[in-house]
Chain A
Amino acid sequence: MSFLSARAMTGGYGATDILHGCAIAVERGEIAVIVGPNGAGKSTAMKAIFGMLRLREGEVRLDGEPITALSPQERVRRGMGFVPQVNNVFASMSVAENLEMGAFIREDDYSETMEQVFSLFPILYEKRAQAAGELSGGQRQQVAVGRALMTRPKLLMLDEPTAGVSPIVMDELFDKIIEIARTGISILMVEQNARQALNIADKGYVLVQGRNRYTDTGEALLADPEVRRTFLGG
């Protein structure tokens, strides 16, 4: 079984379902990307996996263990890290304090993890005493990812990490994400920039109206003329 496996997820926020039997799986150290048109339920699917949305049906398993009934906080303790799309840093606190708060649930010495984050994002070390809210968009995203890494997650989930950043910064962020995956952390992300995201993805999920439409390797999806025509703009 995959490291993360979400099966037959059905549910929504109110009376109407947004997800209809959606399934997502991520292997260890693999990058999986969820793409799809606006309103396809991409973010909703990720929130359901993280426990921020109550599922009517379906099941989420992490490393074989069922976690469907757990709260997001408990899932963090089980090894999930989540980077929300917006408001994902403590704006009034320094970069170092943001990382410290990321490690809040850890009882042990986390200075080594902080050094790892700083070596992954050297710019954060330079700006460690500066308030996160004063940083540029790309740097804030690095703080957000760094904060989530402080719990040493086994699965890192990113909700549109490149929303609102320049193409150069986007490439940089994707490079960092590949680097993180190489350390054995599984990555699941939702992306608007579908083409670039599928480029770095081991596996891609194309969702339409809360259902899985296409599932394949990133490469295969990019090569599929049907997918290109309907979702990637030719």
Chain B
Amino acid sequence: MENFLNALVLFTNFVVIPATTYGAQLALGALGVTLIYTVLRFSNFAHGDLMAFGTMLTIMVTWGLQALGIGIAPLPTALLALPVGMIGATALALLTDRWVFAFYRHRRADPVIFVIASVGVMFVYNAITRFFIGVGDQRFEDGARFVIRVPDFRAMTGLREGLALRTSQVLTVVVMALAVAFVFWFLNRTRTGKSMRAYSDNEDLALLSGISPGHVVRVTWVLAACLATLAGVLYGLDKSFNPFVYFQLLLPIFASAIVGGIGQPVGAVVGGFVVAFSEVTLTYAYKGVLTYLLPEGMAPEGLVQLLGTDYKFAVSFVILVIVLLVRPTGIFRGKVV
């Protein structure tokens, strides 16, 4: 029994908690991607770098606040700086829309043209971010680091294995739940949210009903930029901030949106967790867990790791390929334009 509990704790500590946190971060990112896709009808490749830009602003304001000695301990100071990051990212997204995407919208360009344009936007965002903050890793987490510490957990339970729960992990899941609840409430209960769904469902009829496309597009960018900043800051608190890592996050984020069914907000959230759990469970070394579970003498000699962690992006790719082959519309029957 104790062996089983030890195995469970080990598994929770190294798989369940990290995957849940990562899943929540992906879900927030995928939600933004899916909103843009469903309203503006293109895959926004600049989303990862919009995340990076918003996070960079948040980090800079965080540093400023830290220098002034302002904080909200035990919570990280970044939460205080978050609104500035969101406003900055929103402004950037709205300006980009006015300068780049509006042009193609007026021409009624094909979605693929938008995608290519968004790749260009992605490079610009990426350059801006690197210009201001550099290419290195930035850590900006402060406040109480742990909710549960390993030694405390051992002392409490008397088990050999310890379990740690970091503040950033709890924060990620709580904030993600609140943000997702807000987005769903907004889309399903408010007049503006409903008009976004109407515009996404049937553009011509929405126009006939007097729904202003400009307003719908602006609100969508505001939501997407805020979600992107939120996802980026939570990811940075949990791990660290690095412009290139954020750029690479684009792949698991798109995988999440597509697995869940692109254009479906529920799908984005579910997809985020599916991708995160697949990545973590496939790259985790099960030696420790199996040593506890199997009878003595049968403990594995190798690491029992299916894939090295370097291959975690390959997992997203494989999931993407499988979904596109087997069920292109994703779990929740998204729409494909």
Contacts and interface: CB of A to CB of B under 8 A. Distances in A.
Contacts of A73: 207-208, 210
Contact of A82 (B191, B195, B208, B211): B208
A84 interface: yes
Contact of B209 (A87, A91, A102): A102
A109 to B, nearest CB: 13
Contacts of A77: 210
Contact of B202 (A72, A90, A105): A90
Contact of B195 (A76, A92, A101): A101
User: Main SS of chain B's interface residues?
Assistant: helix
A101 B204 contact: no
Interface string A80-103: 001010011111110001001110
Interface in A31-81: 72-73, 76-77
B214 to A, nearest CB: 12
A88 B197 contact: no
Interface string B170-203: 0000000000000000000001001101100110
| Chain A interface bracket (under 10, 10 to 19, 20 to 34, 35 or more) | 20 to 34
Which of A82, A87, A101 has the most chain B CB atoms inside 10 A of its CB? A101
B209 A105 contact: yes
Contacts of A76: 208-210
Interface in B206-246: 206-211
Contacts of B202: 87, 89-91
Given A91-B201, A92-B197, A84 B209 contact: no
A73 B214 CA distance: 14
A147 interface: yes
A91 B202 CA distance: 8
B198 A101 contact: yes
A104 interface: yes
Interface size class of B (residues with CB under 8 A): 10 to 19
Contacts of B201: 90-93
A92 B265 CA distance: 13
Contact of B194 (A84, A87, A93, A147): A93
A84 B204 CA distance: 10
B207 A101 contact: no
Nearest to B211: A104
B299 interface: no
A168 to B, nearest CB: 27
Contacts of A82: 208
A147 B194 CA distance: 14
Given A100-B194, A101-B195, 19 more contacts: A72-B208, A73-B207, A76-B210, A84-B208, A87-B204, A87-B205, A88-B205, A90-B202, A90-B206, A91-B201, A92-B201, A93-B194, A93-B201, A97-B197, A97-B198, A101-B209, A104-B195, A104-B209, A147-B205
Interface of B: 191, 194-195, 197-198, 201-202, 204-211
The list of the 7 closest CB pairs from A to B, nearest first, reads A105-B210, A90-B201, A101-B198, A104-B209, A92-B201, A104-B210, A90-B198
25 contacts: A76-B208, A82-B208, A87-B202, A89-B202, A89-B205, A90-B197, A90-B202, A90-B205, A91-B201, A91-B202, A92-B197, A92-B201, A93-B198, A97-B198, A100-B191, A101-B194, A101-B198, A101-B206, A101-B209, A102-B209, A104-B191, A104-B195, A104-B209, A147-B209, A151-B210
Interface of A: 72-73, 76-77, 82, 84, 87-93, 97, 100-102, 104-105, 147, 151
